[in-house]
C-alpha cells in the first residue's frame, strides 16, 4: 500500500505462487474495479481471497483513505482453517477433498463440519473479532464459469464503527457483479441464444 500514489497493489506472493495465480489473472483483473468500487462505497478495506494448498492468499486489496482502518491483506497468508474466510472457502470444496482435509479432527475441523451446510447454503460468513481482535470480517464467495467457486470478497472493518447490514448489502452486490463478470453474464447470453435457436422457424413464402 502506498497512500501517496496508489490505494492498492498486487501482492508480492503473486510472483511467488507463479502459475497458480497466472491461471487466475483474469479473476484478479476483473476483481480490481469491483473491489475498488466497493471500498469507495462502504469506506472499509476490501480484499479478494483465494484458497491455495490449505492457505488463504490475497492477490489484491484496497484500503480506504481513513486515518483509522484495517490494514489490507496483500502479501499475507493464513491457514485456511484458522480464518473465517478460509473456512468459508474450504467448505465449498468437493466432499471427497473436504473429508481428506478434515481428517485430523481438530477444533477447526469440527467448526467447519458444524457450519458446513450453512456455509455452503449462504456462501458468506461474518467474523466478529474471533480471528483478529476488534476487527469485523464479512466475506462472500464468488463464482465463475460452470458455477465454480473461484474465491471470496472479504470486507474488514474496525468493530467500533461497523454497520454489518450496510456491508452485507453492498458486499452481496459486489460478489454478484464479479460472479457475472466471470461467467454469469456469459451463461445468461448462452441461455438466450439457446432459447432463440430452439424457437420454431417459420418458412417464408416463396
Boundaries of every domain in the chain: 8-198
Model-level pTM? 0.77
CATH number of 8-198: 3.30.450.40
Count of C-beta atoms within a 10 Å radius of residue 7? 17
Answer whether residue 162 shows pLDDT above 50: yes
Separation CA 118–CA 89 (nearest Å): 12
Beta bridge partners of 142: 151
Burial (CB < 10 A; 0-12, 13-18, 19+), residue 5, is exposed
Task: Report the run of H or E that residue 171 belongs to, with start and end.
Answer: helix 164-179
Q: By three-state DSSP, how is residue 128 classified?
A: strand
CB 129 within 8 A of CB 138: no
- For 180-201, what is the mean pLDDT? 54
* Confidence (pLDDT) at 191: 45
If pLDDT is split at 50, 70 and 90, which confidence band does 99 have?
confident
CA distance 158 to 141: 22
Cβ neighbours of residue 76 closer than 8 Å, sequence gap 6 or more: 11, 58
Amino acid at each position: 500500500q502506498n497512500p501517496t500514489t496508489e490505494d492498492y497493489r498486487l501482492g508480492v506472493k503473486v510472483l511467488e505462487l507463479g502459475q497458480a495465480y497466472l491461471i487466475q489473472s483474469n479473476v484478479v483483473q476483473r476483481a480490481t474495479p469491483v473491489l475498488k468500487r466497493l471500498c469507495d462505497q462502504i469506506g472499509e478495506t476490501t480484499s479478494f481471497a483465494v484458497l491455495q494448498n490449505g492457505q488463504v492468499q490475497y492477490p489484491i486489496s484496497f484500503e480506504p483513505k481513513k486515518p483509522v482502518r484495517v490494514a489490507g491483506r496483500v502479501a499475507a497468508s493464513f491457514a485456511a482453517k484458522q480464518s473465517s474466510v478460509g473456512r468459508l472457502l474450504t467448505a465449498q470444496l468437493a466432499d471427497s477433498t473436504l473429508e481428506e482435509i478434515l481428517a485430523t479432527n481438530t477444533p477447526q475441523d469440527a467448526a467447519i463440519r458444524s457450519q458446513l451446510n450453512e456455509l455452503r447454503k449462504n456462501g458468506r460468513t461474518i467474523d466478529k473479532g474471533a480471528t483478529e481482535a476488534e476487527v469485523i470480517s464479512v466475506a462472500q464467495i464468488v463464482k465463475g464459469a460452470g458455477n465454480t467457486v473461484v474465491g471470496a470478497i472479504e470486507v474488514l472493518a474496525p468493530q467500533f464503527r461497523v454497520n454489518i447490514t450496510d456491508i452485507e448489502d453492498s458486499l452481496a452486490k459486489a460478489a454478484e457483479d464479479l460472479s457475472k463478470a466471470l461467467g454469469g453474464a456469459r451463461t445468461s447470453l448462452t441461455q438466450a441464444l439457446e432459447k432463440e435457436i430452439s424457437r420454431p422457424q417459420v418458412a417464408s413464402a416463396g
